[in-house]
Amino acid sequence: MEAERRPAMLEIAGLTVAYGKRRALEGVALTVGAGEIVTLLGANGSGKSTTLRTVSGLVRAAGGCIRYDGRDVSRWSADVIVAAGVSHVPEGRDIFPDFSVLDNLLVGAHTVAGRDVPARLEAAYALFPVLRERRRQRAGTLSGGEQQMLAIGRALMTRPRLLLLDEPSLGLAPRLVREIFAVIRRINAEGVAVLLVEQNARAALALAARGYVLETGRVVATGTSAALAVDPRIRAAYLGLDPSRPEGLAGYHRGTRGEGATP
């Protein structure tokens, strides 16, 4: 596959994370190529969010190696990782509800030179025009979809090369899910690699080139999105589809063009 031959933007090998005596991740290995979208699938508690939090420096690994753009970042602080070009949009958005939309975006620019901030704001507003309209509004008064746009816009203020997205569709109506996924495509089209954790497995596989499946902190399956979509076990456990019918993601792709199915 072409995606497999891309230079690695992110390489994880033997990653182990423990919360006290409980192992949250055990020997996780995955790669994300430059400009590639890769998705992590798995049930709640399987280690998906922990993987993202460890890559972004919010959680310290007990073992293994995380290499970003060829450099071992396993022991780097979160601020240094952000400055190097990795941005993380956590589950639940994690905006500052009492700050204005503008101030939330400026928080995302804390590692950006002052002279570059106006251009970064304009780029965020171009991607999400509603943020310009509501820039003086308290972030906590935004709708769920607008808050997700703000969280992504804030993460993009540093112009990352790798974007970590944790459940971007959580709690959103189908129309807003489609809008958010269209934005992720636009971001990726500009060369940003994406590691995506998403509860909507069909939507995630339709968007990503490849995927990994986590169960109780271990990678139990990996492959192209097309291959995972026709794997009987994946179909039954994560896609809610009949494992005996091999239509893959064709129905979902038709639906995203307005022919019936929705995320």
User: 4-23, pLDDT tens digit by residue?
Assistant: 467 899 999 999 999 998 99
> Would you say the C-alpha torsion 147, 148, 149, 153 has a positive or negative sign?
positive
Confidence of residue 263 (pLDDT cuts 50, 70, 90): very low
In this prediction, residue 242 carries a pLDDT of 53
pLDDT tens-digit profile of 165-215? Answer: 999 998 888 888 999 999 999 999 999 999 999 988 999 999 999 999 999
The DSSP line for the chain is -HHHHSPEEEEEEEEEEEETTEEEEEEEEEEEETT-EEEEEE-TTSSHHHHHHHHTTSS--SEEEEEETTEE-TT--HHHHHHHTEEEE-TT----TTSBHHHHHHHHTTTS-GGGHHHHHHHHHHH-HHHHHTTTSBGGGS-HHHHHHHHHHHHGGG--SEEEEE-TTTT--HHHHHHHHHHHHHHHHTT-EEEEE-S-HHHHHHH-SEEEEEETTEEEEEEEHHHHHT-HHHIIIII---TT---TTHHHHHIIIIIS---
CATH fold for domain 1-85+160-179+186-220:
Rossmann fold (3.40.50)
pLDDT tens-digit profile of 126-156? Answer: 999 999 999 999 999 999 999 999 999 999 9
CA distance 68 to 136: 36
In this prediction, residue 258 carries a pLDDT of 32
Q: Where do the domains of the chain lie?
A: 1-85+160-179+186-220, 95-159
In this prediction, residue 252 carries a pLDDT of 45
CA distance 220 to 210: 14
Identity of residue 229 = A
Q: Are 3 and 9 in contact (CB under 8 A)?
A: no
Residue 111: CB partners within 8 Å, gap ≥ 6? 79, 82, 83, 158
pTM above 0.85, yes or no: yes
